[in-house]
Amino acid sequence: MMPMYKMAVVGEEEAVLGFRSLGADIFTLSEPQEGAEIIAALRRSKYGVVFLTEWVAKTVPELVEAFEDQPLPAVAIIPGIEGSIGLARTRMKKIVEKAVGADILFQERG
Partner 1 sequence: MEIRVSATRMQLLATRKRLVMAERGHKLLKDKLDELMKHFLELIRAEGELREEVEAALVRALPAFLEARATMSREAMEGALLVSRAQSKIDATSRNIMNVKVPELTWVIGEAQDVYPYGFYGTSAALDDAVEGLTKIVPKLVELAEVEKTIELLADELEKTRRRVNALEYVVIPNLEETARYIVMKLDEVERGNLTRLMKVKEIVREKRA
The span from the CA of 72 to the CA of 59, in Å, is 22
Where does this chain touch partner 1 (CB under 8 A) — which range of 28-36, 37-45, 55-63, 94-102? 94-102
- Tell which positions 21-40 bind partner 1, by CB under 8 A: 21-24
The residue type found at 7 is: M
The correct pick among 28, 32, 41, 49 for binding partner 1 (CB under 8 A) is 49
User: Which pairs with CB-CB distance under 8 Å and at least 24 residues apart come from 14-17?
Assistant: 14/81, 15/53, 15/55, 15/80, 15/81, 16/53
| Chain residues in the site for partner 1 (CB under 8 A) | 2-7, 14-15, 17-24, 47-51, 68-69, 71-72, 74-76, 78-81, 83-84, 88-89, 92, 95-96, 98-101, 105
